[in-house]
Amino acid sequence: MHSDIKNWHGTTIIGVLKDGAVSIAGDGQVTLGQTIIKGTAKKVQKLSPGGLEIIVGFAGSTADAFSLLERLERKLETFPGNLSRSAIELAKDWRTDKYLRNLEAMLVVTDGKDLFIISGSGDVLEPEGHIAAVGSGGNYALAAAKAIYEIETSTEEICKKALKIAGEICVYTNHNIIIETIKKKK
């Protein structure tokens, strides 16, 4: 993993998969050093390459994350309907390409069925317990979501409550929450 990853600040992203629904949520805070630059950034995006519904949340450098989102879209077009393969191919490129290797971001991505964390070290992780979290407040949000997963039925509510708790603890996370959800079609 990048040696700088421990110094990344600026957001919390959480993804929760439960009962046929997946939500990814992120706060809106952007910081530069110890200064809040913006409080209303949208770090959770919906993509629809080839009609496939994908949600991506990113932590780290915004410009780097958008470069990765574009590359993920291209991979999804190359491997239509196959998020797993697209994520693996993106992670392989990210790890081996000299330009991509310097990008400082992490992604949480879902197609409504699978939930992955994609990192610059070439990892594509499918988290245990159907909860994925990254960013400066990721561990706080992860712990909070795990604590309420069994008692809360809505993935959106789990994300919202977990981010609220993370925002109370992590100075790089605020309460401007963006949530995107995919529900299994019946």
Amino acid making up residue 25: A
Q: What is the CA radius of gyration of the chain?
A: 15
CA 11 and chain centroid, separation: 10
Given 11, 110, 173, 181, which residue is catalytic? 11
Mean pLDDT of 11-30: 95
Global pTM reads: 0.90
Local confidence band at 102 (pLDDT 50, 70, 90 cut-offs): low
Query: Residue 130 — left, alpha, or beta (φ > 0 → left; ψ -120 to 50 → alpha)?
Result: left
CA–CA dist 93, 10 (Å, integer) = 25
Q: Where are the domains of the chain?
A: 3-176
Q: What is the CATH number of domain 3-176?
A: 3.60.20.10
- For the question of residue 181 being annotated catalytic, the response is no
**40, 179, 71, 5 alpha-carbon torsion, rounded to 10°:** 70
